[in-house]
Amino acid sequence: MNLNQLFSLSLRGRSEEIALEFEDVVYSFGEIDRRSSRVANLLLKRGFQKGARLGVYLSNCVEMIDIFLACLKSGVIFVPINILYREREVTHILSDAEPRAVISSGELPGGFPSWNVMDLSAEARTHSDQQPDVPIDGDDAAAIIYTSGTTGTSKGAVLTHNNFAANAVNLVTCWQFTPNDRLLLALPLFHVHGLGNGLHCWLVSGCRMRLLERFEHQKAAETFASFRPTVFFGVPAMYVRLLDTTVDAPVRLFVSGSAPLPPQILEEFQQRFGHTILERYGMTETMMNISNPYLGERRAGTVGIPLPGISVEIRDAEGRILGDEVEGELYVRGPNVFREYWKRPDATAAAFSNGYFRTGDMGVRSKDGYYTLKGRASDLIISGGFNIYPREIEEFLLEQPGVKEAAVVGMPDRVRGEVPVAYLVTGEEFDAAAIEQRCRATLASFKVPRSFVPVKSLPRTALGKVQKHLLSSAV
């Protein structure tokens, strides 16, 4: 089943019902359907064929939804580009994906030719609002989404209609979405979190959605009060900012992902607002793999248990399956897992083992099946023969007075090979000597950071992941 068929099933007979609110304008499901069909017919008239790529460099807007759904209807592959990316990053994606055109709201970095989104929308109004007759298979590519590039050059993950559909149906079922829900979505649609989770849960459930162009905590607080959402998807940085506001709404579900949620933030949010944030685990190549239960214990510091139909194994460096309470790399298999890396057969082959995708994330499974992430395998620091996982040190540092954010990376050392170094965003209470003393009293000696480097901010992706490979230039 392709996504067009899946969405049609949930929206049948509801053409006149309110579907979407954006910047004080309300759209029905029928309007969204007709708008996207016009864009799809325009793409076909412009010579786009099934399998052609369309780059999209836009912040959240209704037109971005039109374009995505138009790609699904026409067989064109949607290639979203992070609007925070600049010339070097945009050039890499465009050179790699080779889109036939790029839609943006202005000139692209580097002078790449682009199709202005307002011009596209105006031209689309003259085309048929009937869905074009293009055969779409569930195994056809729906989008190429580029990885965050937290460890280097990003790769394009090819996600199929079936991948997106399996993910959306799982989330709608497990998180108990209904047409009566009201989803507040401030996540960027150029990211798999906003697109594959937020947008698709909206369309599969047929609920009502308020879309924000971007997250700003005071604006979000006002929207909670006016829109009265029942579901909110966010990243840890959003929840930290929401703690400075008042959340007044009948929210039944707060979900956090895309970066680790510090346990103290979960606890503080629960005490402040009476809600236990549901943390889950996914990535660009797989969307959602593991989730704390909607009904049942949402265990702080864990990402929960595997979603239905998804198999998760923990293996050692030689690929041998490990038992409970033993740390290793997470391997996943399921209908949600991407097809391939775009034009990277070697990288694709290296990413899979016996049908399982190697996530590169380290974790451990409890005896009752809850998974806890321990950091990226690529973050592993080997110091004098000892393995050091930065997340353990980072979590300890975040508990210290004056430490607002922390990132630990390995730096070359002539004697030990590597040693940990901590980069810290600090406040007035920060006392480096006192924190080093606490580290020495609490952590094994080889885990104590060799130095504590104060920085104004940590380099992050749009969804809040720290780009550790850029930290040497962050001072």
**One-letter amino acid identity for 305?**
I
Which pair of tokens denotes residue 5?
A: 């068929």
- pLDDT tier for residue 423 given thresholds of 50, 70 and 90: very high
Q: Does the structure show a pLDDT above 90 at 309?
A: yes
Q: Which residue has the higher pLDDT, 1 or 292?
A: 292
Per-residue pLDDT, 386? 74
Nearest CA to 191 among 230, 143, 238?
A: 143
- pLDDT tier for residue 474 given thresholds of 50, 70 and 90: very low
Q: Is the pTM of this model over 0.75?
A: yes
- 158-204 confidence digits (pLDDT tens): 999 999 999 999 999 999 999 999 999 999 999 999 999 999 999 99
Which pair of tokens denotes residue 412?
A: 């070359």
Share of the chain above pLDDT 90, in %: 76
The span from the CA of 459 to the CA of 464, in Å, is 9
Q: Does the structure show a pLDDT above 60 at 285?
A: yes
Q: Does the structure show a pLDDT above 50 at 394?
A: yes
Domain boundaries, the chain: 3-365, 380-473
DSSP state of 355: T
The span from the CA of 439 to the CA of 403, in Å, is 13
| Terminal-residue alpha carbon distance, the chain | 50
Burial (0-12, 13-18, 19+ Cβ within 10 Å), 459: middle
Burial (0-12, 13-18, 19+ Cβ within 10 Å), 288: buried
The span from the CA of 136 to the CA of 151, in Å, is 35
SS3 160: strand
Angle of helix 161-174 relative to helix 3-11, nearest 10 degrees, comes to 40
Per-residue pLDDT, 385? 67
Per-residue pLDDT, 83? 87
- pLDDT tier for residue 473 given thresholds of 50, 70 and 90: low
Q: 296-300, 312-316, 400-404, 442-446 — which is least confidently predicted?
A: 442-446
Q: Does the structure show a pLDDT above 90 at 11?
A: no
Total Cβ atoms within 10 A of residue 437: 12
Per-residue pLDDT, 351? 96
**Mean pLDDT (the chain, rounded):** 92
Question: Which residues lie closer than 8 Å to 474 by C-beta, 6 or more apart?
Answer: 423, 455, 457, 458, 459
Domain 3-365 has CATH 3.40.1280.10: no
The span from the CA of 310 to the CA of 155, in Å, is 23
Q: What is the mean pLDDT of residues 413-423?
A: 85
- 259-281 confidence digits (pLDDT tens): 778 888 899 999 999 999 999 99
Nearest CA to 313 among 352, 374, 372, 364?
A: 364
Query: Could you tell me which CATH number the domain at 380-473 has?
Result: 3.30.300.30
Q: Where does 399-461 show beta strands of DSSP type E?
A: 403-413, 417-426, 452-454
Per-residue pLDDT, 475? 46
The span from the CA of 299 to the CA of 322, in Å, is 22
Burial (0-12, 13-18, 19+ Cβ within 10 Å), 338: buried
Per 3-state DSSP, the chain is made up of helix, strand and coil in percentages (nearest 5) of 35, 25, 40
Total Cβ atoms within 10 A of residue 343: 14
